[in-house]
């Protein structure tokens, strides 16, 4: 195919900040469909990026036509599953923004729909394309860290509550920082460990600072009445092989120890963290060492992103490679389904005040299941 015909469902901030510039820069893509609940927003995107005859609509069904090959689902979280499944059933390849879905049942339905349709489904976890992440992934896959038995997934902001759109709505988003930025950190950590077998989780959420507006917030004071999600979430995940992952996800926390989409890995041969750039630590010939690889030069995988803009560009590059049948998707839906299962279980655990088992505990049966 000379040009892939792409339609967007959702033309808001993530579309303009990440996807549209990357798509428009490609000679093998043309943007032929723009759907948004706000028609003016769809029109503005079409004028800036679309073909002269692009479809502009508020009805997602209007872009699920034979004139479209690929659909980007860039809506609020509550609509991800239904729209992705509709697009897959219409014979489209789909890139859905993260999180994959609000519930594991929705995510499972998305995976099943992709298999039935024989189409590519991927999820927008672009942090996997970063240069530091790609380098560390090579080390992990080569066994240079040994057995990774402890990790931290970190997405911590001091005052970074998104006050626009539907971010503060539990009904629309399914949660706050845990499902938002926490999903990136968890996906990164599981992928680096190559461990997708969770056994039990314990989670806690907090809604303390949200009770009052805070003018020092990066995006201005929030409305406490509209703040229906958590401001901070913490969890412990034990994997079936005994490995432990600690997860921290906050939009507002009185801390100076901040950072997003970071992983700390501790293995039997070496460890790694991303606190001040990528650092590898271990012991060699009776001495402890810390190694900081240079990420600005060569020597990393050819698809490693060195700037934030690169992640969107490389995401579409490798999505199209998968669509053309040249490679497996870098982000596989079966992997992101596990991310959704864990996030859902962490919310359940926080609500119930008890562990949630995702695999059978010793001498017992699993409990948990879809969130109510």
Please give the model's pTM, rounded to 2 decimal places.
Answer: 0.93
Kindly report, residue by residue over 311-349, the tens digit of the pLDDT: 888 999 999 999 999 999 999 999 999 999 999 999 999
The pLDDT of residue 310: 81
Query: C-alpha 353: how far from its chain's center?
Result: 26
DSSP secondary structure string, 80-119? HHHHHHHHHHTT-EEEEESSS-SSHHHHHHHHHHHHHHT-
pLDDT over 80 (residue 276): yes
Contacts of 18 (CB under 8 A, 6+ apart): 124, 126, 311, 312
The pLDDT of residue 359: 78
Distance CA 35, CA 46 (A): 9
82 φ/ψ angles, rounded to the nearest 5 degrees? -60, -45
Q: Read off the tokens for 234.
A: 């913490």
Cα angle vertex 259, ends 253, 265, to 5°? 115
pLDDT over 70 (residue 141): yes
Kindly report, residue by residue over 210-258, the tens digit of the pLDDT: 999 999 999 999 999 999 999 999 999 999 999 999 999 999 999 999 9
Mean pLDDT, the chain, integer:
93
Q: How many CB atoms lie within 10 A of CB 83?
A: 22
pLDDT over 60 (residue 5): yes
Q: Three-state SS for 321?
A: helix
Domains of the chain and CATH, by start: 4-124 (3.40.50.720), 128-311+337-357 (3.30.360.10)
Compute the average pLDDT of residues 104-115: 98
140 φ/ψ angles, rounded to the nearest 5 degrees? -65, -45
Distance CA 62, CA 254 (A): 47
Let me know: does 319 contact 122? Beta carbons within 8 Å: yes
Contacts of 335 (CB under 8 A, 6+ apart): 187, 190, 191, 196
The pLDDT of residue 308: 60
pLDDT over 70 (residue 368): no
pLDDT-derived band at 370, boundaries 50, 70, 90: very low
The pLDDT of residue 65: 97
pLDDT over 60 (residue 303): no
106-109, long-range: CB < 8 A, 24+ apart: 106/80, 106/81, 106/340, 107/81, 107/333, 107/336, 107/337, 107/340, 107/341, 108/337, 109/81, 109/85
Kindly report, residue by residue over 68-98, the tens digit of the pLDDT: 999 999 999 999 999 999 999 999 999 999 9
Is the torsion defined by CA of 173, 134, 329, 146 positive or negative? negative
Distance CA 336, CA 100 (A): 7
Indicate the burial class of 337 (C-beta count within 10 angstroms; 0-12, 13-18, 19 or more).
buried
Tell me how far CA of residue 230 lies from CA of 102, 167, 246, 301, in angstroms. 15, 11, 18, 37
């Amino acid at each position: 195919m000379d040009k892939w015909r792409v339609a967007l469902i959702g033309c808001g901030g993530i579309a303009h900040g990440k996807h549209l510039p990357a798509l428009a820069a490609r000679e093998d893509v043309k943007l032929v469909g723009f759907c948004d609940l706000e028609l003016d927003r769809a029109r503005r995107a079409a004028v800036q990026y679309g073909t002269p005859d692009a479809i502009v609509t508020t009805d997602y069904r209007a872009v699920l036509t034979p004139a479209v090959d690929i659909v980007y689902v860039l809506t609020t979280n509550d609509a991800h599953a239904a729209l992705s499944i509709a697009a897959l059933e219409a014979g489209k390849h789909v890139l859905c923004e993260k999180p994959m879905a609000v519930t594991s049942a929705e995510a499972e339905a998305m995976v099943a729909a992709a298999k039935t349709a024989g189409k590519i489904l991927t999820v927008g976890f672009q942090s996997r394309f970063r240069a530091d992440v790609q380098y560390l992934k090579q080390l992990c896959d080569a066994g240079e860290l040994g057995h990774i038995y402890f990790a931290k997934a970190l997405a911590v902001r001091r005052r970074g509550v998104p006050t626009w759109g539907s971010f503060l709505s539990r009904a629309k988003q399914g949660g706050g920082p845990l499902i938002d930025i926490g999903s990136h950190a968890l996906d990164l950590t599981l992928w680096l460990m190559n461990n997708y077998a969770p056994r039990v989780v314990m989670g806690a959420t907090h809604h303390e600072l949200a009770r009052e507006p805070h003018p020092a917030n990066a995006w201005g004071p929030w409305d406490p009445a509209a703040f229906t999600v958590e401001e901070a979430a913490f969890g412990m995940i034990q994997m079936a092989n005994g490995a432990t992952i600690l997860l921290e996800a906050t939009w507002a926390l009185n801390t100076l120890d901040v950072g997003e989409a970071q992983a700390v890995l501790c293995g039997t041969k070496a460890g790694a963290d991303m606190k001040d750039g990528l650092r590898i630590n271990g012991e060699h010939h009776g001495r402890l060492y810390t190694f900081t690889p240079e990420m600005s030069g060569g020597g990393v995988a050819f698809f490693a992103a060195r700037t934030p803009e690169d992640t969107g560009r490389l995401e579409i590059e490798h999505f199209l490679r998968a669509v053309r049948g040249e490679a497996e998707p870098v982000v596989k839906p079966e992997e992101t389904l596990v991310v959704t299962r864990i996030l859902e279980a962490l919310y359940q655990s926080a609500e119930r005040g008890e562990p949630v088992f995702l695999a059978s505990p010793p001498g017992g049966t699993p409990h948990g299941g879809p969130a109510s």
